[in-house]
Structure 1
Amino acid sequence: MTGTLDQLESTIAARRAADPSTSYVAALFAKGMPKIAQKLGEEAVETVIAAMAGDRRGVTGEAADLLFHLMVLLAEAGVPFADVLAELDRREGTSGLAEKAARPKG
């Protein structure tokens, strides 16, 4: 399942240094975290709108956009996708309520 996202992470890394006038990924990185975060938020909202509309095809497309922009944000933040997977593995088998209650407050 992660092969596609691993490949996407590699593609994003490779395109990071490309010419922003010819690469959407490079253009996002050139604009920095504020723009990347904004795009991620926009895609999240669009995913929610499609879901609320019962638009299965729309949800699929918007979810792909959401994952793409999340991967760009992770790269900009210096967080490898493997770290996210490790965190999910750590949480596996733990009640969501218990995991949330165990988080530091504040």
Structure 2
Amino acid sequence: MSALDRLAATIDARKGGDPDTSWTAKLLAKGPEKCAEKFGEESIEAIIEAVKGDRARLTSEAADVLYHLLVMLAARDLTLADVEAELARREGKSGIEEKAGRPA
């Protein structure tokens, strides 16, 4: 099991948990919109570090982005496995071909 799989399992286990003892439970209790907002904030911070070129800070922010992405997915009852299945579906297609096949 990868670190990302373990993180996803931890997030799933904290759904419905006590918001006073778990940051994940606190985020999820605030609803999908707040989870999406936090994901957006962390994404912007990662972009800033990518532009600055600080590898250590970018690595840290990228970890935050992945965590908040998984929390946002959990808030909408989606899983890492759902995303992996979509990536597998796209595997072997060029990005141009895949994008052209999306509904308008």
TM-score by length of 1: 0.93
Cα distance, 1:87 vs. partner? 0.8
Give matches, 1:32-71, under 5 Å.
32-71=31-70
- State the partner residue of 1:23: 22
Number of residue pairs the alignment of both structures matches: 104
TM-aligned CA deviation for residue 18 of structure 1? 2.1
How far apart are 1:17 and its partner, in Å? 2.4
**Residue in 1 that maps onto 2:93:** 94
Q: Distance in 1 between matches of 2:100 and 2:12?
A: 35
Give the TM-score of the pair, scaled to structure 2: 0.94
Within 2, Cα distance between the matches of 1:54 and 1:97? 29
Residue by residue over 1:37-60, the C-alpha shift from the partner in whole angstroms, topping out at 9 and shown as x without a partner, is: 000000100000000000111110
Q: In 2, distance between residues paired with 1:57 and 1:82?
A: 28
Unmatched 5+ stretches in structure 2: none
Q: 1:31 is matched by which residue type in structure 2?
A: K
Corresponding letter in the other structure for 1:81: L
Distance in structure 1 (CA, Å) of the matches to 2:12 and 2:89 = 26
Q: Describe the SS at the equivalent of 1:28.
A: helix
Cα distance in 1 for partners of 2:76, 2:91 equals 24
| Structure 1 stretch displaced more, 16-25 or 45-54 | 16-25
**Matches of residues 66-85 of structure 1 in structure 2 within 5 Å?**
66-85=65-84
